[in-house]
Amino acid sequence: MVNKIYGLLGICSKAGKITAGTEAVIEGVLKNQIELVIIAEDTSQKTKQKIEKICAEKKVMIKIYGTIFDNSNAIGKVNKAIIGIKDKNLSKAILEKICGGEMLEGK
């Protein structure tokens, strides 16, 4: 299961359908370009709260998953705690793997 999620993140990255890094993801959310935000489990509390507040205002789904190292490695970047997925279908596929397709709120 874990390998499939990281595989999907890699596909998103290769397809150019991700935004990585706190400020870049915030900008994407504010411009309505992000469908799903993945926050690493070991992200600082301050950063989590900042992202969660903005995503709640824009009704963007958030999932806390993986570590900064593992998530960054999956997308071919270094030290990226926050990842934004731009593609709706890839977002759905990742959500299905993370939580069995359970759609909570958002788009």
Structural domain spans, the chain: 2-99
Q: pLDDT 10s digit of each residue in the chain, 107 long?
A: 568 899 999 999 999 999 999 999 999 999 999 999 999 999 999 999 999 999 999 999 999 999 999 999 999 999 999 999 999 999 999 998 888 755 444 44
Element (H, E) at 20: strand 18-20
CATH of domain 2-99: 3.30.1330.30
Residue 85 phi/psi, 5-degree rounding, is -100, 125
Provide the whole-model pTM: 0.89
Q: Which two tokens stand for residue 30?
A: 């504010």
In the chain, the amino acid numbered 12 is C
Orientation angle between helical segments 45-58 and 22-30, nearest 10 degrees: 10
Q: What is the largest CA-CA distance in the chain?
A: 32
